[in-house]
Amino acid sequence: MRGADTVAELVRRQWGDHRIGLRDEHHTLTHHQVAAGAAARAALLVDLMPPRPGGEPHLGILLDNTPEYPLWLGATALAGAAVAGINPTRRGAELARDIRHTACRVLVTQRAHLPLLDGLPLPGVRILVTDTDAYRELLGPYGSARPGDARLGPVRPDSRFLLSFTSGSTGAPKAALCSQGRLAAAGASLAAHFSVGRDDVHYICMPMFHGNAVIADWAPALAAGAGVALRARFSASRFLSDVRGFDATYFTYVGRAVQYLLATPPTAEDHVHRLRLGFGTEAGAVDAARFRERFGVPLVEGYGSSEGGASIQRTPDTPTGAVGRAAPTDDLVVVDAETGRECEAARFSPTGRLLNAAEAVGELVNRGRSAFEGYWRNPEAEAARLRDGWYWTGDLFYRDADGYLYFAGRTDDRLRVDSENLAAAMIEHILARWEPAAGVAVYAIPDPVAGDQVMAALALREGAVFDPAEFAAFLAAQQDLGTKMPPRFVRVTPELPLTATNKIHRVALRRASFLCEDPVWWRPTQGAPYEPLTPAAAATLRAEYARHGRIPEFTDR
């Protein structure tokens, strides 16, 4: 299929196509009906946003994954407007800040989310509630609209289309800009890379306010003319029944969704489906192998920030554990953030274990021309991202002698133990090999004197119990577990806390530290056996922090 310069052109192509294009558990729409629905909403949007000085053509969407979400995405593209995906897990002043910061003049939501908006100061924001008679009556007169009939502004490749919030685990989230041209190109690239065709069905179970679902799932389906199936919210227990019911062939994942799928009880029909591919990030090599063995579906780990500043492409010869090589348009290097010097190439043992993590792990930087289009009204964040003419990703990687890149975590997740820098993700990948563990999170808590100490949270498989001697023996057997890497504290928890995008909520874990309600095991001295952390031992630790004048947030409880 010929490429398209804009998302609007891709929406227009659906007109006249009467194959099934969009489904959820309650609705089935043809591609033509999707295009017609987008055109009707575009015409309504134009009437709701008359030109005014300083009035940006921005629409906020505060919805679960219902058909209204992609319909309004299409409408916004046709109208030459822009969408801000609003995170429904935000609350109060933070939620109001997101809506006001992105200059939303119209907010599309549903009745279930109305309590979130009660009492929020949102002056000048028109709120549309999709599952009401008033909304249907408002939309009714526009039913005969055709794609392209109504526009708020020019529709060009450089037209602003998405204001995509970053995760925002620390501080206010930033709204990364994405143009129609960049999203259309990303969709076409992924569709070609994964051979997406008109008979494919993309299952979108990740939240659509996040870039993963829109850029990596909806956009390639739109580019290829494939179908889309929606799950309002991710559900591990309904995943396989959805995949079968929708005849899905492709899905995306983020963070720990794969672990939750693996934690569901196995069945004799785990291979009975048409699913051929999962594409996402942070599954880890161990869980990816388990997923393929159990469900017969390969997981392809990808990398491409919502900001578009760097991308890595996987090729058939990519080694196990690697993400891939730099895209042809990028000049990616791994550098020491303090010196700016390129890190050493990774060296591996005969079994594939990284031997020189301290010298090889650094921040991934794009020295070439970047597709980064900036942040909405945040010049400070742009300046931090673009330094010395380079695009700094904020992610840790290492690179082998052949140029293949391996993800090692976020720069914010780096630990400094006894003056040695460690990447939390690398320790997690090692701990994930422990069979009783269903989920692993590694994070830093302050050392009473200087630097950090390593703490791990373990969610165990059903029926498993934490055996401290068995866990210590496992650690001792891992040849790539450096002497500074073993966790001093181990929190055993029923489930790991997650953000709305299924990423581990490390901020919550760090704040709770060892003063949490879950059982915590610890080593009083390096190499000692793990033992329960008693209230008396915790009090002694808190006193040690006080003696050294280090009063972390968690000790003030």
pLDDT at 352: 79
pTM: 0.83
pLDDT at 506: 87
| Dihedral sign (CA 535, 539, 544, 549) | positive
pLDDT at 481: 87
Residue ranges, comma separated, of all CATH 3.40.50.980 domains in the chain are 7-182
pLDDT at 504: 87
pLDDT at 500: 78
Residue with tokens 């450089």: 158
Q: What is the dihedral of CA 126, 108, 74, 274, to 10 degrees?
A: 180
Residues 6+ apart with CB under 8 A from 557: 515
Residues pairing with 61 in the sheet: 85, 108
Q: Which of 260, 232, 227, 229 is nearest to 244 (CA)?
A: 229
CATH class for the domain made up of 7-182: alpha beta
Per-position b or e across 459-484, b if 16+ CB within 10 A of its CB: bbeeeeebebeebbebbeebebbbeb
Tell me the H-state helices in 271-392.
285-295, 357-360, 379-385
Residues pairing with 364 in the sheet: 334
Burial of 549 (0-12, 13-18, 19+ CB in 10 A): exposed
Report the distance separating Cα 454 and Cα 491, nearest Å.
11
User: What is the fold, at CATH topology level, of the domain defined by 418-555?
Assistant: GMP Synthetase; Chain A, domain 3 (3.30.300)
Report the distance separating Cα 409 and Cα 425, nearest Å.
5
pLDDT at 402: 95
Report the distance separating Cα 476 and Cα 469, nearest Å.
11
- The DSSP H or E segment spanning 438 is strand 437-446
Query: What is the number of other CB atoms lying within 10 angstroms of the CB of residue 497?
Result: 14
pLDDT at 556: 58
Residue ranges, comma separated, of all CATH 3.30.300.30 domains in the chain are 418-555
pLDDT along the chain (557 residues), means of 10: 88 98 98 98 97 90 98 98 94 93 97 96 97 98 96 95 75 88 96 96 95 95 98 96 98 86 93 97 83 96 84 88 87 91 93 84 92 94 92 93 89 80 87 94 89 94 95 92 92 90 85 93 93 95 83 64
Residue ranges, comma separated, of all CATH 2.30.38.10 domains in the chain are 303-413
CATH classification code of 303-413: 2.30.38.10
